[in-house]
Amino acid sequence: MSTLVLFLQLFSIVPLALGLNHPNCDLTKSQDQGSTLRIFHIDSPCSPFKSSSPLSWEARVLQTLAQDQARLQYLSSLVAGRSVVPIASGRQMLQSTTYIVKALIGTPAQPLLLAMDTSSDVAWIPCSGCVGCPSNTAFSPAKSTSFKNVSCSAPQCKQVPNPTCGARACSFNLTYGSSSIAANLSQDTIRLAADPIKAFTFGCVNKVAGGGTIPPPQGLLGLGRGPLSLMSQAQSVYKSTFSYCLPSFRSLTFSGSLRLGPTSQPQRVKYTQLLRNPRRSSLYYVNLVAIRVGRKVVDLPPAAIAFNPSTGAGTIFDSGTVYTRLAKPVYEAVRNEFRKRVKPTTAVVTSLGGFDTCYSGQVKVPTITFMFKGVNMTMPADNLMLHSTAGSTSCLAMAAAPENVNSVVNVIASMQQQNHRVLIDVPNGRLGLARERCS
């Protein structure tokens, strides 16, 4: 395969051509390493997303926390019968996008950056001529000989919200905050690396109306488990299998990897059962059995970590949430044990926004281990502590999940996954974990 390049993106997106002066950052050149695909951080030398007026550390943390809060609401809203694909609802589009994938769409191919999301089945792309779209770049259907609209009689038309038939094509409308979005359900060839996926179904956005809330400028490509996600539509190519390894925030180049398909996946991986919750069937659930802080297994209320298919409760792995969220009683028990084991014991605990365990100066912190049946995931300080630019303040990068949701969802987020290989193997019903230096 050719290289598929992902970018960690926290706040904004800019055209692909900007910010790629580093000698290893030419996206037009193949940098194959078998099935290994490269990942970059927003602040890496290869990132085109650097802000000309970067936020302060405190402002950035608070903004990310707010985005995470909205995403938790989105994840908790995914109850069977209430969400549909490829664009589920305005609430679904409010999620913060974290990773960006370079995709080639159409014939001849047009390069676009799409947000990749392991918990979404969404596929939507801003199209040329879109009225009110905030994107600087858009897909041009007129320039693609393989593009076609999906007819109203096609089964995919039944999987979008409020479908209507205009000019014999399936179209639909949705809301995003105070704005409304109109799209046609369409198909075209999408190329991820060297793999062409023909007749890929997506929403071609053609109008954004209303004021206030501005929708994300980039498109979205879901890696969830729904029928119109990438993994489902490209099942013959990727066999519903992929893995990723996210590098540490402290890595100089911040380059990690994504591998699509069963080929070239690592062998030294320990597995736990991958669960499917019919209430939130798109998400990747696992059975969290305990949490250890240092050497102490924390006493947790069983109901707060239990997998419950009747309510949608349980624990998921998610690439789009930045900081891990745990049910309030679970978080408080883990946090309290963590504080006891921080050295020096005289360190004063402060707070920053939604983070309630922050310290000034240097502290030594214990590891935290998520314990699953068959595998443990141990996180050292780099996965746990968020450090200010000056290094004078550090915070435990976990928080309690919002209580005003319709059931408990514990979310193992991207910062805690860093420098771990996470392997999703749907055919064999398992999720694999292995410690790996991704930088």
Q: How many CB atoms lie within 10 A of CB 207?
A: 15
Question: Is residue 383 scored above 60 in pLDDT?
Answer: yes
Residue appearing with tokens 């893995």: 243
Higher per-residue confidence, 88 vs 236: 236
CA 344 from chain center: how many Å? 36
d(CA 112, CA 63): 26
How confident is the model at residue 3, as a pLDDT? Answer: 32
| Amino acid symbol at 307 | F
d(CA 239, CA 234): 8
How confident is the model at residue 247, as a pLDDT? Answer: 72
CA 229 from chain center: how many Å? 13
pLDDT tens per residue, range 284-295: 999 999 999 999
Share of the chain above pLDDT 70, in %: 70
Phi, psi dihedral angles at 186 (to 5 degrees): -135, 170
Sign for the CA dihedral angle at 48, 53, 59, 63 comes to negative
How confident is the model at residue 54, as a pLDDT? Answer: 65
Task: Collect all residues with Cβ–Cβ distance below 8 Å to 130 and sequence separation of at least 6.
Answer: 138, 205, 206, 207, 208
Mean of per-residue pLDDT scores for the chain = 78
Say if residues 46 and 100 touch (Cβ distance below 8 Å). Answer: no
d(CA 58, CA 208): 32
Q: Hey, what are 191's tokens? A: 């190329």
How confident is the model at residue 388, as a pLDDT? Answer: 80
112-141 burial, b for 16+ CB within 10 Å, e for fewer? Answer: bbbbbbbbbbbbbbbbbebebbebebbbeb
Helix (H) or strand (E) holding 165: strand 164-166
d(CA 32, CA 195): 13
How confident is the model at residue 18, as a pLDDT? Answer: 32
User: Which of 214, 191, 187 lies closest to 203, judged by CA?
Assistant: 187
Question: Residues 68, 188, 318, 356: which is the catalytic one?
Answer: 318
Mean pLDDT of all residues in 367-379: 97
d(CA 378, CA 144): 48
Mean pLDDT of all residues in 190-202: 88
**What spatial distance separates the first Cα and last Cα of the chain, rounded to whole Å?**
21
Mean pLDDT of all residues in 20-34: 47
Helix, strand, coil percentages in the chain from 3-state DSSP, rounded to 5: 15, 35, 45
> Could you please report the per-residue DSSP string of 367-378?
-EEEEETTEEEE
pLDDT tens per residue, range 295-329: 999 999 999 999 999 888 999 999 888 899 999 99
Tell me the sheet residues that pair with 221.
Answer: 116, 123
Q: Which range has highest mean pLDDT (2-6, 74-78, 398-402)?
A: 398-402
Q: Which range has highest mean pLDDT (22-26, 41-45, 319-323)?
A: 319-323
Question: Is residue 260 scored above 60 in pLDDT?
Answer: yes
Mean pLDDT of all residues in 203-211: 82
Sign for the CA dihedral angle at 183, 185, 189, 193 comes to positive
Radius of gyration for the alpha carbons in the chain, expressed in angstroms and rounded = 21
Say if residues 433 and 241 touch (Cβ distance below 8 Å). Answer: no
Mean pLDDT of all residues in 227-234: 89
Q: Does residue 425 have an active-site annotation? A: no
Question: Residues 68, 117, 188, 425: which is the catalytic one?
Answer: 117
- Predicted TM-score (pTM) of the model is 0.83
How confident is the model at residue 118, as a pLDDT? Answer: 87
> Could you please report the per-residue DSSP string of 212-227?
SPPPPSSEEEE-SSST
pLDDT tens per residue, range 62-115: 767 766 666 666 666 665 433 322 222 223 333 445 666 678 899 999 988 777
How confident is the model at residue 83, as a pLDDT? Answer: 30
Q: Does residue 318 have an active-site annotation? A: yes
Residue appearing with tokens 């699509």: 260
Task: Collect all residues with Cβ–Cβ distance below 8 Å to 408 and sequence separation of at least 6.
Answer: 304, 311, 313, 314, 327, 401
218-243 burial, b for 16+ CB within 10 Å, e for fewer? Answer: bbbbbbbbbbbbbbbbbeeebbbbbb
